[in-house]
Amino acid sequence: MSRRSIGPGVSFFAFQDIITAVVGIFILITLTLILELNQRVESASKAPDEAIPIIDEQKIIAIEQQSTDLQLQYDLRLEQLSEMSEITVLNRDQKLEEANAARIASKQQFENLQKMVVDLDLQLVNQDRINATLESESNQLSAQKKQIEELETILAKLANHKNQIKGKEGLLYRDQVDTTNFVCLIQLNDAGVTIKDAASQTVKQLSTARRFTSWLQTNTARNRHFLILVEPSGIDFFETIREELQDANAIYGFDPVEDGHQASLTFEWESAP
C-alpha cells in the first residue's frame, strides 16, 4: 500500500525572530540602566567634602531658642484660649467679679508690703542709732576699763609699799609741815651727813659737814623745816650744821637718836619701786 504524501509543514522561524529581538531589547535596556546606575553611585561617592554644608553652632542655638520661644507662645495662647473658652454669657459677670476681687486683694497685698518695707526701713534706722550708741558706750567703757587697770596697778604698787613699810623698822615722817613748808631730814652719823629733802625729793650723802654749807648755798632755807637727827657717832658734825642753819635764819629742830636709827620721808616710799 502506498504512503500518502503530506503537504508542506508550518514554519515558526518568524515568531522566534520576534521573541529573540524583544528579549535582546530588554537585555539592552537592563544593561543600560545598570551602567547609568553605577555611574550615579560613583559620582555620589566621589562628591567633594566642600559640598557638605557646614552648620553654624550659633545658628543652631538661635534656632533652638526660637523654637523654645515659639513653644512658650503656643502654650500661652493655648492657656489664654482655655481661659477665654471658660467665659460664657452666663458666667461673664461672675468672672468679672472674681477678677475684680483678685485685683483688690493684690492691691491690698501690695499696700501691706509697702507698709512692711517702711517699717523695716524705720527699724534699720533705729538699729543704726542703737549700734552707734552701743559703739559710743563701748568706747567709753574701754576708756574706763583702761583707767580701772591703771588704778589697779597703782593700788598694787601702794599695797607693795605698804607691805614694805610694815616690814621695815624706823620712823616715817611726812613731807610737809603745812602747805608751804617742806621737811628736810638731816641724819648725822659716822658715815657723814645724809640729807633727805622733801622739797626737791632727793637724798644726798655728804662725807663732811663743810659740804653741807655748799648744799645749803644752792638750796635756800626758805620754805624748808630742818629736822636734825643726831646719832652718837655723828655728834662732831652737829655744831657745824647748827651754826650754818642759824646763819641762814632757817627753821630747824634736833633730836638725839641711837646709832643705826632708821628714818624716812614719805616721798621715799612713794618713789620706791
Residue 1 has pLDDT above 50, yes or no: no
* Lowest-pLDDT choice from 23-27, 76-80, 186-190: 76-80
Pairing of strands 192-197, 224-230: unpaired
Please report, for the chain, the start and end positions of each structural domain, with discontinuous segments joined by +: 93-167, 171-270
Question: Three-state SS string across the chain, please?
Answer: CCCCCCCCCCCCHHHHHHHHHHHHHHHHHHHHHHHHHHHHHHHHHCCCHHHCCCCCHHHHHHHHHHHHHHHHHHHHHHHHHHHHHHCCCCCHHHHHHHHHHHHHHHHHHHHHHHHHHHHHHHHHHHHHHHHHHHHHHHHHHHHHHHHHHHHHHHHHHHHHHHHHHHHCCCEEECCECCCCCEEEEEEEECCEEEEEECCCCEEEEECCHHHHHHHHHHCCCCCEEEEEEECHHHHHHHHHHHHHHHHCCCEEEEEECCCCCCEEEHHHHHCCC
With cut-offs at 50, 70 and 90, classify the pLDDT of residue 3.
low
The string of pLDDT tens digits covering residues 137-147 is 888 888 888 88
Q: Which of 8-17, 31-40, 92-101, 194-203 has the highest mean pLDDT?
A: 194-203
What would the grid cell of residue 77 be? 495662647
* Residue 229 · residue 263 · CB < 8 Å: yes
**pLDDT for res 184:** 93
Distance, in Å, from the CA atom of 199 to the CA atom of 185, rounded to the nearest integer, reads 11
Residue 102 has pLDDT above 90, yes or no: no
pTM: 0.41
**pLDDT for res 197:** 93
With cut-offs at 50, 70 and 90, classify the pLDDT of residue 161.
low
% of the chain at pLDDT higher than 90? 11
Q: Which of 7-11, 50-54, 70-74 has the highest mean pLDDT?
A: 70-74
**pLDDT for res 59:** 75
**pLDDT for res 164:** 62
Residue 12 has pLDDT above 60, yes or no: no
User: Taking residues 95-113, what's their average pLDDT?
Assistant: 81
Distance, in Å, from the CA atom of 272 to the CA atom of 264, rounded to the nearest integer, reads 12
With cut-offs at 50, 70 and 90, classify the pLDDT of residue 193.
very high
**pLDDT for res 62:** 80
The string of pLDDT tens digits covering residues 54-70 is 556 777 788 888 878 88
**pLDDT for res 140:** 84
**pLDDT for res 89:** 59
**pLDDT for res 6:** 52
Determine the topology of domain 171-270 in CATH: Nucleotidyltransferase; domain 5 (3.30.420)
**pLDDT for res 196:** 92
User: Taking residues 232-239, what's their average pLDDT?
Assistant: 90
* Cα dihedral sign, 259-257-267-150: positive
Residue 121 has pLDDT above 80, yes or no: yes
* Residue 254 · residue 229 · CB < 8 Å: yes
User: Taking residues 16-38, what's their average pLDDT?
Assistant: 80
- 131 versus 17: the higher-pLDDT residue is 131
